[in-house]
A and B are shown apart, each in its own frame.
Chain A
């Protein structure tokens, strides 16, 4: 039955949806509508980012105080003794105790060649953590940019960085005995500051502007307190540790850090993907979102919570890395448009690309270029990349209503 609605048929069957290839075409387009939003630009962006991660990761793995030839690197990364041995993989990803509990294995793990050992226990975990941190920061920034309807929002806009920074300084200066719990303390400080910001902003509900202003208020006060605490640090080592935390660094990161951030990352990614449609509706403005049946306050708090979780998780392992959460959503948006389903997916790839690439600079710039055995905090590199990128964006197009 050729069903081609003509202007004169007014029957129930004709849906008047216009010419889109007849019923079969319509059916296939509906079946495909679940993935139809994945378009060329998004796939291209993800592939390019993956390539950057692989290349930068390769450089990270190859160079260092123990240089390897390219062949050796390949062999070490793809060493079947690790990749195909669930005991080793679990040992890395969930830790030794849990590995033994899961596999019931009680003996010593099989020995690995030195190259494999260096790559897998020292260099790869750093790349892995960089990937997760990049992901978390990018998602956090993307969510905050939607929630505050401000394209200049970063993961730290609602006080998270200043809260975490203050907590770190307090711990290092006043309660040095608690330094082992610094990751948790930093994340908790960030989350606490976020709650304070929310409480300050709340007056018969919140609004994006009130939230951002409250973030500035809390940020300013906490920042001052943090600076004040530097004066009480009597030891240059404490100051250096504090700076490393407050600028963000991946130096000395191992599988233990990966294990801290991995579970939160999984939660954050799942929630961000699920929340993408909510973010899209929120983009239509609060009034519209509300009239469409969204409880805007609850949704905004929930989404902010996800973003704070992501930021806190990355602070716990890498400190306060700036600019990643700010520029990655911009990069993604300029390529894939304003649909948050695409932005979230894009951030999952571009965030790691920026973070891993920046960490190459942080780790290898001094040893390779200056021949000095010293590492930079990665936050310095991201800042150095981020500033000029914004300049480029500013020159290229209007940043919109800021």
Chain B
């Protein structure tokens, strides 16, 4: 399934089907990952975009201390990276800096070896998609119209929608599994359905790198799993480099290929989930005493109690 990221294949309907009915896969995601690792050729990996940040310092006007200090990360191309950390550790800020939505005070971000700041606004938006945490929309917007806006960077000021745009929209809607909601207004959707519609919008952008800010927070379990399945499909079939901010470290350990743990604006650890998620990290970064065991799909965390503040 080696495909160039810019030209994602039409998603086989079978995938959609399997997402809904394949209980086997849902129960044992680990098995799925192993299978896909074997399926993927090296070409898919080399095709995927590289994305790295060097010495990022990000602050906000009016704040004395930067929120993110000297963050350097090299993200594995074509894999799913999870940014984890407690509340206020700078995850979303770092994501904003990685997406060049917040101008860093220092440091650079490169995508495929090009500095982000050297790319034009639309060029950047064709390479890198970002889904913010809280999204507002006029209620009377249909899902298809919303997804259509994902084509914004691909269209000139006066250009009409092309067949190519329409195909990208169809693909995105199909992959996000919102086909049946196409004509519905966003105002009528549940939180989970709306989130899938927004994901479809960033998918229609057809970028090489996708940054998702807490895409599963506030969703019910069904929609959380649906989102994570989409992310896996993106990695396995579209060869996209995905970065997620995840609130839930357990979920991150289960789904991500690579993890970056932030503590108070600094990178505390990064690596494979098995190496990053340790009892020591949970105590130091999250302030919890927990047991970390080996589940059949990555580390398994059993939180025991919150540690006193002084100890963290």
Contacts and interface: CB of A to CB of B under 8 A. Distances in A.
Interface of A: 5-18, 30, 33-34, 203-204, 274, 277-278, 280-281, 283-285, 287-288, 290-295, 337-339
B101 A15 contact: no
B289 to A, nearest CB: 37
Contact of A281 (B9, B12, B149): B149
Q: Specify which of B9, B12, B99 lies most central, judged by the most chain A CB atoms within 10 Å of its CB.
A: B12
A338 B173 contact: no
B12 A288 contact: no
B61 interface: yes
B16 A287 contact: no
Contacts of A292: 125, 149-150, 152-153, 205
A333 B113 CA distance: 46
Contacts of B122: 293
Contacts of B296: none
A381 B161 CA distance: 43
B154 to A, nearest CB: 9
B241 interface: no
B140 A9 contact: no
Interface stretch (B130-138, B267-275, B300-308): B130-138
Contacts of B295: none
Contacts of B161: 33-34
Contact of A204 (B61, B126, B137, B158): B61
A12 to B, nearest CB: 6
Nearest to A333: B140
Nearest to A292: B152
Contact of A284 (B15, B135, B174): B135
Contacts of A10: 12-15
A3 to B, nearest CB: 12
A291 B124 CA distance: 9
Contacts of A33: 161, 166
Given A11-B10, A287-B101, A294-B121, 17 more contacts: A6-B13, A10-B15, A13-B10, A14-B10, A17-B170, A17-B173, A17-B179, A18-B180, A33-B166, A34-B161, A283-B137, A284-B137, A288-B135, A291-B130, A292-B125, A293-B121, A293-B124
A15 B9 CA distance: 9
Sort A-B residue pairs by CB-CB distance and give the 3 closest, nearest first: A293-B125, A10-B12, A338-B138
A205 to B, nearest CB: 9
B152 A7 contact: no
A278 B156 CA distance: 11
A281 B151 CA distance: 11
Given A284-B135, A291-B130, A292-B150, A16 B12 contact: yes
A280 B149 CA distance: 8
Nearest to B157: A274
B235 interface: no
Interface of B: 9-17, 61, 99, 101, 120-126, 129-132, 135-141, 145-146, 149-150, 152-153, 155, 157-158, 160-161, 163, 166-167, 170-171, 173-174, 179-180, 182, 202, 205
5 contacts: A16-B12, A16-B179, A17-B174, A283-B141, A284-B137
B138 A283 contact: yes
Contact of A9 (B13, B145, B182): B13
Given A10-B13, A290-B101, A285 B152 contact: no
Contacts of A291: 99, 101, 125, 129-132, 202
B209 to A, nearest CB: 12
Nearest to A149: B136
A16 B17 CA distance: 11
A30 B129 CA distance: 26
A281 B148 CA distance: 10
A338 B182 CA distance: 17
A302 to B, nearest CB: 10
Nearest to A340: B138
A143 to B, nearest CB: 15
A32 to B, nearest CB: 12
Given A16-B16, A292-B152, A338 B11 contact: no
A283 B136 CA distance: 8
Contacts of B145: 280, 339
Contact of B10 (A16, A274, A285): A16
Nearest to A291: B130
A338 B139 CA distance: 8
A15 B174 contact: yes
Contacts of A7: 13-14, 16-17
Q: Specify which of A7, A287, A337 lies most central, judged by the most chain B CB atoms within 10 Å of its CB.
A: A287
A16 B101 contact: no
Contacts of B61: 203-204
Contacts of A294: 121, 152
B171 A288 contact: no
Contacts of B152: 277, 281, 292-294
Contacts of B180: 18
A28 to B, nearest CB: 13
A17 B174 CA distance: 6
Nearest to A284: B137
Contacts of A30: 163, 166
Contacts of B141: 283, 338-339
A17 B178 CA distance: 10
A16 B15 CA distance: 10
A10 B153 CA distance: 29
Contact of A18 (B14, B131, B137, B179): B179
Given A17-B170, A294-B152, A34 B160 contact: yes
Contacts of B163: 30
A16 B149 contact: no
